[in-house]
Chains A and B, each alone.
Chain A
Amino acid sequence: MGLLEDKVRARKFYKYFSKVYDRINPIFYSQKMLEKVVEMAELSDGDIVLEVGCGTGFTTYGISKKVLQENIFAVDLTPEQMKKAIDRLPNVNYLRCDAENLPFKDDTFDASISAGSIEYWPNPKKGISEMARVTKPGGRVVILAPRKPSNPVVRRFAESVMLFPSTQQCISWYDSAGLENIRFVEMGPNRLWSKLVVIISGEVR
């Protein structure tokens, strides 16, 4: 059991982490990754988009370049992080909810996106199924997840803090959620750390 797999601990961690988050986050989550996430969601004008785990709104901002803020539904567990997102993008629809129990009707969104959040979900398989459920057939579910580090020492440390799914693991969750046409890319912030994250996209049947 990692330190942040528990939702209460994740909530507390982020309450304090939110103060420095915007300064630390760009090291691990680059502009290039953000662009790839949005591109893989295949958004069009007028699409209604869900973002799970909006945090301070870094990804939300990327989505708002493609669709109107009014068409974006950004959800998070923590209100502290969300405050920054609200300041940045005041016309987005914000809700507090749990990724594994989404409060939306079936087939609601044209695409669902979650970047840098899955590592805190105790049951990622359920979270992905929920994203698939609320997305319309033909729409895409896109997730950016940190990869399991290949160095065993680094991996041991990382796994004590968060849950790091492997690319294979993500694909199997996508499969069990009934997602099709699965595509993925592994990316990193620089040449030395070129496979830090996996961005995976699947189509709802």
Chain B
Amino acid sequence: MRKDIVDILACPVCKGDLELTVEEEKNGDVIKGSLECKKCSEVYPIEDGIANMLPPELREKV
């Protein structure tokens, strides 16, 4: 995931701004990390370079 796309992302539930935490990166792209909503504090994982932006209740189901 490109770091600069955080600017256009929003929490899927409350549409709040997100804060990026990078755990692993490669050529400037985020491979592992997370996005935390500054409004509702929900955390969305980034794994294998792809952010999982499913609402929490769907994330567990699908």
Q: Which positions in A face B, CB cutoff 8 Å?
A: 7-8, 11, 73, 75, 77-79, 82, 93-98, 101-106, 108
16 CB contacts below 8 A, A to B, read: A7-B62, A78-B62, A94-B50, A95-B51, A95-B53, A96-B51, A96-B53, A101-B13, A103-B9, A103-B10, A103-B11, A103-B53, A104-B10, A105-B8, A105-B9, A105-B15
Chain A proximity of B19: nearest CB distance (Å): 14
| Interface of A: prevailing SS | mixed
Q: Which positions in B face A, CB cutoff 8 Å?
A: 1-2, 5, 8-13, 15, 44, 50-55, 58, 61-62
Q: Are B53 and A108 in contact (CB under 8 A)?
A: no
Q: Out of B8, B9, B50, B54, which one reaches A98, CB within 8 Å? A: B54
Q: Are B8 and A104 in contact (CB under 8 A)?
A: yes
List, in ascending order, chain A residues with CB within 8 A of B44's CB: 103
CA–CA, A103 and B13, complex, Å: 8
Given A95-B53, A103-B53, A8:B61 Cβ within 8 A: yes
CA–CA, A96 and B9, complex, Å: 12
Q: Are A98 and B55 in contact (CB under 8 A)?
A: yes
List, in ascending order, chain B residues with CB within 8 A of A101's CB: 12-13, 54-55, 58
Q: Out of B15, B51, B62, which one reaches A77, CB within 8 Å? A: B62
Q: Smallest CB-CB separation from B52: which chain A residue? A: A96
Chain A proximity of B9: nearest CB distance (Å): 6
Q: Are B54 and A97 in contact (CB under 8 A)?
A: yes
